[in-house]
Amino acid sequence: MQDIKILAIESSCDETAAAVVVNGRDVLSNVISSQIDIHTLYGGVVPEIASRKHIENINPVIEKALSDAKMTLDDIDAIGVTYGPGLVGALLVGVAEAKAISFAKDIPLIGVHHIEGHICANYIDNKELEPPFICLVVSGGHTHLVVVKDYGEYEILGKTRDDAAGEAFDKVARAIGLGYPGGPKIDKVSVDGNPEAFVFPRAKITDSVYDFSFSGLKSAVLNQINAAGMKGEEINVPDIAASFQKAVVDSLVTRAMTALEETGFKKFAIAGGVASNTAVRSEFEKECKKRGISFYCPSKILCTDNAAMIGSAAYFEYKKGVRSDYHLNAIPNLKLGER
């Protein structure tokens, strides 16, 4: 069978990324230009700045992805691009670029769902992984417990009712003075903290065992900080961070393990930026091992936003004959499974 080489583009938030992926699983290049430094000045992602930076970065990033893969556009069989969900102005930069290349080179265009990309990162680092399996997607904008029924076929078992897990990490990090980007900073300082120092709530949703809620947890942490402030006490940042992180991990693990027990699936994967968290990875590995469940996770660099995962998702769509036309548009609130 002929190899299918896909050039993938990702620009949904604050990373401009391009990659060349062969047959959905082999990454020839994976270039990520992060805008973290500039957004750090503002304490979070400023959408208008993100769009402008994507415009500046996109051509050099694509050129580097092609040269790292020792290819030119003439070697590429199809273009994959994230078209939602995400920041509309940011998404539009990638979508317009992908359409232009597809038109100029007369090669197929495939619009990819960003969350589907996160799930597919697992196919790159776990060559033997095939659906069906259960996947927990935990990113800055999403917390979804999903049955991956087949390539490109998803059933959502549960999702967050309020904040996404990554959003909770970012908000708590800001409140305890760690700043942006919050997730990696909480991960780092938690190593020196006591996860039992504070008992923060693990919300339960009575009408859906698989749904999540993190806003109460975030408020509990804020209350703890305010109470300490009123008493003139210093807060122990590593202890608060570690206790908060433990509460998030417990909430994620409980839902996922219930889903595995009730559905009988024997394969479980994690995906998204929060899946790069040290405690998340080690707890899931331990809990899956106890139950005889095979545990999969992408390498850390493929958990956070990148284009290689988009190239993987695009390949499985390509194989099914899915093609986008030049009406493809950015859809900021695109739902998983929607086309």
Please report, as ranges, the residues that interact with Zn ion according to CB under 5 A: 139, 305
In the block, tokens 């979508």 appear at 95
The bridge status of strand 267-271 relative to strand 294-296 is: parallel
90 binds, among ligand KG4, Zn ion, none (CB under 5 to 8 A by kind): none
Coil vs helix vs strand at 198: coil
**277 forms part of the interface with ligand KG4 (CB under 6 A):** yes
317 binds, among ligand KG4, Zn ion, none (CB under 5 to 8 A by kind): none
Q: 146 pairs with which residues across the strands?
A: 135, 156
Strands (E), the chain: 5-10, 15-22, 26-34, 78-84, 109-113, 133-138, 143-150, 153-159, 267-271, 294-296
Structure tokens at 121: 């990162």
**123 forms part of the interface with ligand KG4 (CB under 6 A):** no
Per-residue contact track with ligand KG4, 159 to 178, x per CB under 6 A?
-------xx-xx--------
**84 forms part of the interface with ligand KG4 (CB under 6 A):** no
CB of 164 to ligand KG4, least distance (A): 7
Asked if 305 and 17 count as a contact pair (C-beta separation under 8 A), the reply is yes
Judged by beta carbon, residue 238 or residue 298, the one nearer Zn ion is 298
**276 forms part of the interface with ligand KG4 (CB under 6 A):** yes
Asked if 142 and 168 count as a contact pair (C-beta separation under 8 A), the reply is no
One of 10, 116, 187, 239 touching ligand KG4 (CB under 6 A): 187
Q: 331 pairs with which residues across the strands?
A: none
Judged by beta carbon, residue 140 or residue 195, the one nearer Zn ion is 140
CA distance 37 to 42: 10
**304 forms part of the interface with ligand KG4 (CB under 6 A):** yes
CB of 274 to ligand KG4, least distance (A): 4
Coil vs helix vs strand at 71: coil
Task: Of 144, 182, 139, 136, give the one whose Cα is nearest residue 161.
Answer: 144
**183 forms part of the interface with ligand KG4 (CB under 6 A):** yes
Residue 71's Cβ-count burial label (10 Å; 0-12, 13-18, 19+) is middle
The bridge status of strand 15-22 relative to strand 26-34 is: antiparallel
Piece of 53-61, 208-216, 231-239, 272-280 that binds ligand KG4 (CB under 6 A): 272-280
Judged by beta carbon, residue 23 or residue 213, the one nearer ligand KG4 is 213
CB of 293 to Zn ion, least distance (A): 25
**117 forms part of the interface with ligand KG4 (CB under 6 A):** no
183 binds, among Zn ion, ligand KG4, none (CB under 5 to 8 A by kind): ligand KG4
Under the rule (CB under 6 A), what is the footprint of ligand KG4? 13, 118, 139-141, 166-167, 169-170, 181-184, 187, 272-274, 276-277, 304-305
